[in-house]
Structure formats: structure tokens, C-alpha cells
Structure 1
């Protein structure tokens, strides 16, 4: 990283407003830098390329190919595909790495570039730092005369991905007789999601299931499950699943129309593994955002919650370190060890299996979790506001942490994907939780305004 240069990578790749922040030139430079790094360890690297349905996707993908070609990298274009689908195809095809053009759960005007290694895993911090260094050192990418690119037929990519996915099931359970409503968010799972659930035997009702990139994630998908909840109740479905734009996360809705986040999903899957004697070691990996109620519920089945920093790559790293079979984030990124990555379609299949195997409803399976009141509050901030150096904020956090007691916590962190500062507060006392959020937000907003006015 060059001193004084802005950091490019967030918690999940490089993101920004397509065209103004995430420019074609930047994507081309990232492609060249990534290709240069891969060429240092692979004599003839092949990179798999994918994208979600965003309108800006094809042009940014073209620029990524140009950059990779300048570095001497061959490209296998998988077209519109989910991020986990691209990761699994990279393993299957023996690629040196993968490039996904997607801004995940963000609105249509945003886009991003996610870079993965040969195993389909997110790049290590040191590799990201090396790529940033190369981006800032190099000049604009000169187009290659003829990029070496091969396009995989859509049908082949989709079938191969689903075959790989279904090969990872321990004891497959037919979903025959189960009604599932899927919200595909006008995104990358528009076809793969319904195909996977139908292949498993479920009766599927698909919402927002066309490749309409100009509407991706708008009032639908994992951040907006309200429409899904209404449909689940209206059609008397057993489960609702809301994907985000690239289907690496999902939120769930039970048969009563209650939205269930990643904490509930982790518990239901943990209990299912426990019943099969597969939760060994008895550890589930979450993040600092996990609700205290999850830890208490896991404790009652003899399991322990281990927390990591926010970001699914931190979860995956800890799972590998301690040998855990299950991990994930409250936001809906769920990782099972046999897959090793967060795949929302696979998670949906496994949740459906758990419901069928238990003979109980999803709402009933979620009952053991009594969530502690928890508030997440987002504050827009401009670059340059140094919240970590704020004495007033530090003192307030210390004071409120003490007042919230042993069951509570305060977490302040910048978003890794948007220009936001996130405040999360949890405690047994809902009124106290609300008061803490209000007080902390007031300090940040006042200081941020003062910074802006200077």
C-alpha cells in the first residue's frame, strides 16, 4: 500500500458507484494487478469470470478481461452466475483464480469486483495489499490486441455448479411436498435458485426471478424480506428464502411470516447437525454481531459460540483453525465446512432438509432462541471523519458498556461496503438499548457535521 493512497478493498472486494467511483479504468487496473500476482505463481493462469445482472456489469467485465489479458491471463467467462457458483466452478475447472463483478446486496447504481484464489476463497490481506500497491504503481491499462477468452455455455455452467452443490450433501433428504417461496432479487440467482430447490423436490414459487439488473435488490431480496413474508403467509408455504444480488447471503421467513436472520439459520443447522452427531467439535463460529441469544441457545445443546470480526472470510478462517462444521454472520452469510464458502442456495437447501428431517415447522425450530434486544443504526459519514480518535465517543462507549451489563455490548465499526458508520447495541433492557444508540449516534452526527463544515 502506498502511503497516503486510499484503501481499495473493503470487507468483500472493491465497491463503489459504477462509472464514477468504480470506473472501467480502475477495474482494468485491478484485473492487470490480479493477473500479475497470479502469474508470479502460475505459469499459464486461467481465471474464471462471472457477474450478476447489473446494467454496468458487461462493460466492467470487459475491462477486467482487458487487464487480465495484458498480464497474459486466459479467461473463462461464466456469464451471469452467483458468486459462490463461480467459486465452486473455479475449483472444478482448476482455475488459478476468479473475478466476480457484483456489488452483492447494494442498490443497482453500485457495482464491485470480488477476487478469489484457486480454492474459491477470498484473498488474504497481504495479497490484497500487494494488488493495491500494483494498482497505484501502474499506468492505465493498454488494451490487449486479442484477449484470450472462452465463454462457457450457460447450461453447462449451471448444470456443473448444481452437480457440484448436490455432491456435497451428507444424507440427502427429498423435499417432496414442501412449498418454498424464493425471492431472487432480480439478481444472479434468478434461475439457479429455483432450479436447485426444484431439483431437490420442492414446490417452488419464485419472486423477482428475472435478470433485471436495473432493479436488483430494490425493495426485494435479503435486505427487504417484507414482500416475501406476505407471500409465504398468503400461499401457506413452509419457508421463504430471500437471496441478495449475488446469492452469497440469504434471509429466511418462517411459515408464520416472521423474518429469521443468520443467527436463527445457524442455530437450526447446528441443532440438525447435533441430532446427527455431526456437530464435532461442538463449536459454531459467528461474529461480534451475533446476538447473545444465539450463544445461550447453543449452550443448551452443548455447543459453544466463537466470535470473529465481521466478514465471512474471518468466519471461514476461524472455522478452519478450530475445525468447526458451521459458521456464519447475522446478515445471512452461512458457511458449512463441506463447502467452505458462503452459498445462499446451499444454505436454503440445508435449512429445508433440517425442517423435513425434524418433522417440525421452521418457526418451531427457531423457538429456542430468545433474542436479546439488539439495534443496528447506520450513520452516513464522509471520508476523513476519524471516529476512532474521538475521546467523547470512547468515553460514551465505555459508560454505556458498563450500564448495559454482562449480557450487553456496544460495537461501532465502519461498513466495508458503503460510506456508513454502524452502531450496534444489544442488552436485556430494550429501553436502555435504545437510549444507548441515541446517545452514541448524537455524538457521531455532531462530530461528523463539524468535520464536514471545516
Structure 2
């Protein structure tokens, strides 16, 4: 069955526009609830959210859906996506739900689902829920079988405790002055608190959510604010999370960006030195820089590439027995600690490296020189520009020019109407020419 609702990371769209309405949210609750009503025990679902205005509306609709089919609901309020995954597993819930559109602006929202093991749902589970959403009437619970809803007040503390436990018990951050940018999102309370509790001096920005300012000129996709604050405060390092805090981008003491590729390189070397890196490899996507692949190869490690999307990284990790993976965009998956990307845990591991070595971030976090890489997005309104003959010809020509010295990755976004054109190689001029020629062809095809 063709997917109508689920994309590469759950269901996402403009709140109260198109498909993403309270009616759909309630239907998702009913369908997911019915799908996970397995066994004779009392069933429960954990529901968390980020800080965008429409979260209240979506939360209420989901509660109605789940309780109407007989599931008890536990509400956490604003909490990072990985915290919901953790609580789903630890509270023996049948399903976990995160209401968030991640790094998107506040008008958007989304619904992410986790299974009882804390991992994102398989394609098979999502397809089964899709079918139930689109089928007719679902059986509703009757009488005392209707679910109850309650809010727990200690969810933030539980997550903070879990995050701190990933750092050695004797390690402190007293020597570190850290700018923490929470994107006015889900981690606005937990991330600064976790670092402060380990002794770090914390300068927090992006911690005043009002429902409308999530990811607005702050966070991992808008680094100007954290860079300026690091330089202004003379901080040792800056960390920038996104709206639901499942990704991390770092800024060193000089104000230079440290992306997910460099962070993965750091973690790989630390884990290799400790003998904890499984499979002698790191899993990432086709977007990771060729420089990372070459660096790992020189260290006797391999880079396993997947399609774009942290769910595909996670699938390859589980299938191949790897415990470290991530994306250039900042998703860091460390299966020894979490079942999904966790920006706060990744930040704690990065800070542990700084605290234990005593070296500046600019030295610790820049392990390789990336090759020139250029990414451009072309917006389109309808159709399939990538099937246009002129676009195909431009791609073939660019591949020929980059052969042997670089790579080309062309794909349609899984969450937005955009064609993403990325090229990288040893010669910057050739990379720029390849991207320009393909984007021009796509723009013409897209009208």
C-alpha cells in the first residue's frame, strides 16, 4: 500500500492544514493503539511534545484517540524525543509518541512513534497503522475498558539522571564554560540542567519558548546566535540542539562550526581506544563527507553508508552489530546509551572529551579536513523534476566530471518539497560547477 501519512521520520506537516489536523491525530491514536493492543495486560502509551503552539492541540487529540480504544495515557509535557524513547522502554509502555516537527518552524508539527523497545517503528508497523488509519470504523473500548490519562511530574528528572549516567562517575565539567542553545525547544530545561549538575558553567540561550519561537534564529540550523555568544563570553565550547533535541551541532572556542561528521570521528576514536567500538566501523548516510571516510580508513575503520534519515542509519547499525552511527546534520546514535539520536547525550560525551583531555575544542573536535562539499536545495511545487530528461543528462555529465575525485548525491527531501543537490570532491571549482548545472536543470524542470 502506498504511504499517505508516514514519511522518513513519522508524520509531519503544517498543523491544521492539509492532512495534519486534530482529526488525523485522533485517528493516529486510535490506529496505533489498536495495533499495539497485544496481550492481556493493561496497555499504556507515553506522549511527549516539544514547545510549539500546536502541541497542545495535537496532544489532546492523541489522548482522545488512545483512550477511546482502551489505552492508558501518560503525559510528560515538553521533553526531548530520545527521552520519550527511553521512558517508553523503562515504563514498560506499549508505544511512545513524540509530538514534534524537529528543526522545522513552529507552524509545522509531526507525530513520531516508538515501539515498546524504544526504537522507532519498522516499515511493517507503520504500514499496518497506515492501513488502520485509512480503514473504516475502528472498534472502540466500552465501559470501564476506556483508557485513563495522567501527567507525570518527574519525567525531566528521570531523563537528566539517565543522561548524566553516560559520563564517568568521577568526571566533572568544572573547567568548562559552555554555551547551550536549546532552540527554544524540548530540551530548554533538561540540557542546561544536566551540564550544570556536573559542574559546568552554563550560559543558556534559546530557553524562553513561547510556542512561536522554536528554531527561530536559534538552534542547530541557525548557528549565528550560539557563535556570537561563545565569542562574547569567551566560552570553551557551544552546543546547539534542534527543536526536539535529537541532533547536535558544536561550535568551538573560535566560533567555528563542528558538524556531525567531526563529532562521529571523535567518538569513533574514543571508543576505539577504549575497545568499545563494535564492528570496527561507523554507520552514516550518503551525505557524510568523503574526508570522514578517508580518515576512518586511515585508522583501520570503515564507514557504512545508508540512505538519508536516522532511521536508516539505525537499521544498518542493528543489522550489522554496530554501536556508533549518525548524520552530518547532527544526529548521533550511540546504542550503548540510547535507542535513537540524542543530542544531549552526544553533548555530554563531547564535553567529557574536553574535560578529560584539557585541550581546546578547536584541537579535540577537528580531526580531519573535509573535502569541498556543496549542498543546494531547489524548491518545486509538483511533479517529479528528477525524471526530466534534461535533469538526468545534467546528472550524468556531473558524475562523469567528478569520477575518481568526488561524489554526487541527488535526492528528493522526505519532509519538504525540495530537491537536494550535493556534490563533493577534491577540486572545489568542479564541485561548484556540478551543483550549479544540476540545479539549473532542476529549476527549469520545476518551472
Settle same-fold status: TM greater than 0.5.
yes
Q: What residue is the counterpart of 1:452 in the other structure? A: none
- Single out whichever of 415-424 and 30-39 deviates more from structure 2: 415-424
TM superposition shift of 1:147: 4.8
Q: 1:17 aligns with which of 11, 14, 17?
A: 14
The answer on whether the counterparts of 1:187 and 1:212 sit within 8 Å (CA) in structure 2 is: no
TM-score calculated relative to the size of structure 2: 0.95
Equivalent pair of 2:69/2:141 in contact (CA under 8 Å): no
> SS at the partner of 1:213?
coil
Determine if contact 2:175/2:355 at 8 Å carries over to the other structure: no
What SS does structure 2 have at the residue aligned with 1:293?
helix
Matched, 1:364 2:383: no
The Cα of 1:388 is off from its aligned counterpart by 4.3
Q: Secondary structure at the match of 2:6?
A: coil
Residues 285 and 308, structure 2, Cα contact 8 Å, conserved in 1: yes
Question: 1:360, 1:104 → 2: CA distance?
Answer: 32
What are the Cα deviations for residues 326-361 of structure 1, in whole angstroms up to 9, with x where unaligned? 110001000112123211000000000112222322
Deviations 1:373-400 (A, max 9, x none): 11111111224x1234333322322221
Aligned residue in 2 for 1:83: 81
- Name the structure 2 match of 1:254: 252
Matched pairs, number: 443
| Other-structure match for 1:102 | 100
Task: Tell me the residue number matched to 2:311.
Answer: 313
Q: Is the 8 A contact 2:179 2:226 kept in 1?
A: yes
Alpha-carbon separation, structure 2, partners of 1:379 and 1:144: 51
For 1:120 and 1:321, the matched residues in 2 are separated by 16
Q: Give the drift of 1:277.
A: 2.8
Gaps of 5+ in 1: 450-454
In the superposition, the TM-score normalised over structure 1's length comes to 0.93
Change (3 A) 1:229 1:421: same
What's 2:219 paired with?
221
1:31 maps to what in 2? 29
Partners of 1:280 and 1:360 in 2: CA distance: 27
Find the aligned partners of 2:367 and 2:167 in 1 and give their Cα distance: 26
Q: Which runs of 5+ in 2 are unaligned?
A: none
In the alignment, does 2:148 pair up with 1:151?
no
Q: CA separation in 1, counterparts of 2:142 and 2:173?
A: 49
Q: Which residue of 2 aligns with 1:340?
A: 339
Q: Superposed, which structure 2 residues align to 1:43-442 within 5 Å?
A: 43-138=41-136, 147-153=147-153, 156-169=154-167, 173-338=171-336, 339-383=338-382, 385-442=383-440
Secondary structure, in 3 states, of the residue corresponding to 1:115? strand
CA distance in 1, matches of 2:369, 2:169: 30
Q: Secondary structure at the match of 1:214?
A: coil
Contact 2:246 2:343 in 1 (8 A): yes
Aligned CA distance change for structure 1 residues 79 and 406 (closer, same or farther; 3 Å): same
Verify the 8 A CA contact 1:222 1:242 in the aligned structure 2: yes
Could you report, residue by residue, the CA deviation over 1:33-63 in whole angstroms, capped at 9, with x for unpaired residues?
A: 1111101467432000011111110111110
**Could you say if the C-alpha distance between residues 327 and 200 of structure 1 is closer, same or farther in structure 2, counting changes exceeding 3 Å?**
same
Deviations 1:136-167 (A, max 9, x none): 123599999975101101xx111111222333
Counterparts of 2:170 and 2:393, CA distance in 1: 53
Q: Report the Cα distance in structure 2 between the residues aligned to 1:408 and 1:212, rounded to whole angstroms.
A: 44
How far apart are 1:316 and its partner, in Å?
A: 1.4
Counterparts of 1:317 and 1:172, CA distance in 2: 34
CA deviations on 1:284-341 (whole Å, 9 max, x unpaired) are: 1111000001111222322211111111111112122222231100010001121232
* RMSD of aligned alpha carbons: 1.9
How far apart, CA to CA, are the structure 1 residues paired with 2:101 and 2:151? 22
In the aligned structure 1, how far is the partner of 2:40 from the partner of 2:364? 47
Instruction: Tell me the SS of whatever aligns to 1:371.
Output: coil
Would you say the 8 A contact 1:377–1:424 is kept in 2? yes
The separation in 1 between residues aligned to 2:108 and 2:126, in whole angstroms, is 21
**Is the Cα–Cα contact under 8 Å of residues 25 and 141 in structure 1 kept in the other structure?**
no
* Conservation of the 8 A alpha-carbon contact between 1:393 and 1:444: yes
Greater shift in the superposed pair: 373-382 or 318-327:
318-327
In structure 1, distance between residues paired with 2:222 and 2:40: 42
State which drifts further: 34-43 or 415-424: 34-43
